[in-house]
Amino acid sequence: MATGFLTDTTVCIGCKACEVACKQWNQLPADGYNLTGASYDNTGHLSGTTWRHVAFIENPKKQRRLSGDVDLIALAEDVTETLPGNAELDGLGRWNFMSDVCKHCVEAPCQQACPTGAIIRNEFDNVYIQPDVCNGCGYCVPACPYGVITQVPNDGRAFKCTLCYDRQRDGLEPACAKACPTNSIMFGDVEDLKVIAAERVATLHAKGYDNAFVYGTPEVGGTGGIGGNHSKFILMDDPETYNLPRHPFMPQVKVKGAFVASSIAAAALTAVVALAFRD
Q: What's the burial of 279, exposed, middle or buried (CB within 10 Å: 0-12/13-18/19+)?
A: exposed
User: Which residues does the annotation place in the binding site?
Assistant: 12, 15, 18, 22, 102, 105, 110, 114, 134, 137, 140, 144, 161, 164, 176, 180
Within 8 A by CB and 6+ apart from 77, the residues are: none
d(CA 244, CA 259): 28
Judging by DSSP bridges, how do beta strands 231-235 and 3-8 pair with one another? parallel
Within 8 A by CB and 6+ apart from 26, the residues are: 51, 162, 164, 175
Adjacent-strand bridge partners of 105: 229
Q: Are 150 and 141 in contact (CB under 8 A)?
A: yes
Q: Which phi and psi angles does 26 have, rounded to 5°?
A: -90, 5
d(CA 25, CA 172): 12
d(CA 142, CA 222): 17
User: Which residues does the annotation place in the binding site for [4Fe-4S] cluster?
Assistant: 12, 15, 18, 22, 102, 105, 110, 114, 134, 137, 140, 144, 161, 164, 176, 180
3-state class of 72 per DSSP?
Answer: helix
d(CA 140, CA 149): 7
Within 8 A by CB and 6+ apart from 33, the residues are: 42
